Structures are given as C-alpha cells and as structure tokens.
Amino acid sequence: MTMTGLRVRAALAALLLLFSGTVAQAADRLVFATDWRAQAEQGGFYQAVAKGIYARHGLEVDLRQGGVGMDPQQLLAAGAIDGAMGSSGFFTLNLVEAGADVVTVAALFQKDPWMLMTHPRADITSLEQMRGKPIMIGDPSVNTIWRWLKSRYGFQDSQIRKYTFNIAPFLVDQGAIQQGYVTSEPFTAGKAGVTPQVYLLADHGYLSYAATIMLRRDLVEKRPDLVQAFVDASIEGWISYLHDDPGPANALIKTANPDMDDETIAYARQKMIAYGIVESGDAVRLGVGAMTADRWQAFTDEMKALGIYRSDLDWRRGVDLRFVNKGGRN
C-alpha cells in the first residue's frame, strides 16, 4: 500500500472513530409527563433536569407537566409519550385492567399524600370518629379512596358532600371535613387562619404507592439499560431535592407554572420530609423508589375485596421490580 493510501486509510479510521464516539455519547431522549402542573410534589424529577443528573446518566429528558384536559395515562397507553408519573397505585391497576402495554418500574412516594382534615375539634381525634359526619369528597375519589374508607372505617355514602377543589366551604364551616393532599390543602387553610387537624391515610393503613414511574412496555423490554438509567437518575434527583439545595428544581417549577410561589413550594417540600412521603417504609431498607411484591399484592387484594377490580386481575402484568430495591440511599 502506498503512503497516500495509508494516509487516506488512517484518516478514514480517525473519522470513523470520531463518528462512533459521537454516536456512543449521544443522549437517549425520553418524554415523561407528570400528573399535574409543576409543583414541589414533582420536585425530584425537576431537580434531575435542572442539575444535569439525567444528562450525566446519558439521558435527554423532556419533562412535560400535566393539567386540566391532559391525561398522561391515556397518552402513555396510546404510545404518544415514553413515560408518565402515576398519582397512585390505582393508575397501575387501571392500566393492567385495560390491557395497556405499560409497566410501573418505581414508586418515589412510599406514602400516598391523601389525607382528611378537620377544624380543631375535641370530638374528632381519629378517622373512626368521623363516621356519620359530613365529608367533602371529590368525584374521582368516590370509587377509590372513599370505598376504602367505607370498608376500613365504616363510612357511609350518606356522609358524602361534593368537594369542588375550592377550600372556601371548609373555611367557613367549623364542622367541615374534607379530603386533600397533606402537602397542599392544609397550607391553604393555614394562610386563611385555620390550622387543621390532619389525618394522613397512609398512616392509617392505606397501602397505595404514589408518584410512580410508568413506562411503555416496549421500552422496558427492549431498553432495560435506558430504563435503569432513568430510574437511577430520578431517584438521585429526589434525594438531591430533599437533602440538598432545592433551588434549581424550584426555579424550573416556577418557570413552568407561574402560579407557584416560593412559600407554597417550601411548605410542600417540608411536609414531604416531615411525613416521610419519600423516605419511609421499605425505602429505608431498600432505597428510594422501592416497591415490594408483598405490598402490591396486599393493595391489589384489598381493592379486589372492595369490588373495584376483577378477582383475576394480576398486578404483576404491570409492575417490574428489577429497577429498584438496590438498598440504602441510592
């Protein structure tokens, strides 16, 4: 081979190496939708974007906020997005029941933030003592959480009063009881001069996971490396959001949702820490994002017993435990 030929061959080899390196370093793009407009309850995902955690794991994540008129479950089931944040274990079981090609791979919230709250009152110091009293419940909760409350605590449908997600009726009625998120409605009540009594359902036997990561089945089956990277980076983002400076995530949250303010975000973050929403239960031993077969089975069995799901529904068709439970603080 001539010197000219050697030079050409070397140049081509160098270009090929350069091109191969570029391809290897190209980030995998993933579109992930949250369950509502940007807020602290999604802070770990925003932190992973803001601090470059996803990028460091080789991912380019397009984080899309939910809101009125957007159904992340439906979009995910249709394959229009790669992943979505599930608000509760019902999201997973609903998709299993529908036969959707969707898999839940992590649960960032060990405790679902749902709660009931009352005005300060001596006659109610437990959920049991709410029996027979009017309770404001939103329509979406009547066939889920309310049925659990009826079964576990003996509530009756005659107690239901419609909750329109406007806290004003609660504020003016000293006898009112209403549903909400432990990270949200109590703050709004406090700003209006009412310091409510709060009963977190997760601390009273409610087993639902929340803030789950749900992904397309084909992604889980064909790209487990990508799934593991996304789960690991999301977990790292949540740990950072709760233990480091949350400022990077909060800035993105306020940009995406201008209705959010520093005080509201700080309250929600503090309550997530105080109640152990992310770091409690199995997550203490197995790491943030933990899920166990025993808990999924217990939750599913209880919801079947309430008649919410068919007796033959198998949660395993929509849950994959491979990507979590790595132990300790991830």
Domains 27-111+208-318 and 114-204 are alike in CATH topology: yes
Residue count of the chain, please give it.
330
The torsion defined by the Cα of 128, 278, 84 and 198, in degrees rounded to 10, comes to 30
- Tell me the per-residue pLDDT of 95-123, one tens digit each, with 9 for 90 and over: 999 999 999 999 999 999 999 999 999 99
Rounded CA separation 110/113 (Å): 9
Between 17 and 252, whose confidence is greater? 252
Architecture field, domain 114-204: 3-Layer(aba) Sandwich (3.40)
Task: Out of 14-23, 40-49, 86-95, 116-125, pick the least confident.
Answer: 14-23
Q: Of 245, 243, 209, 239, nearest to 328 (Cα)?
A: 239
Q: Is the pLDDT of residue 130 over 70?
A: yes
The torsion defined by the Cα of 148, 312, 310 and 297, in degrees rounded to 10, comes to 20
Q: How confident is the model at residue 141 (pLDDT cuts 50, 70, 90)?
A: very high
Report the pLDDT averaged over residues 53-75.
92
173 CB burial (10 A radius; 0-12, 13-18, 19+): middle
CB 167 within 8 A of CB 189: yes
- Tell me the per-residue pLDDT of 237-280, one tens digit each, with 9 for 90 and over: 999 999 999 999 999 999 999 999 999 999 999 999 999 999 99
7 CB burial (10 A radius; 0-12, 13-18, 19+): exposed
| DSSP state, residue 201 | G
Task: Out of 17-31, 36-50, 60-74, 313-327, pick the least confident.
Answer: 17-31
The matching CATH number, chosen from 3.40.50.2020, 3.40.50.10540, 3.40.190.10, 3.40.50.2300, for 27-111+208-318 is 3.40.190.10
pLDDT of residue 24: 40
**Domain ranges across the chain:** 27-111+208-318, 114-204
- Tell me the per-residue pLDDT of 179-233, one tens digit each, with 9 for 90 and over: 999 999 999 999 999 999 999 999 999 999 999 999 999 999 999 999 999 999 9
Rounded CA separation 191/64 (Å): 30
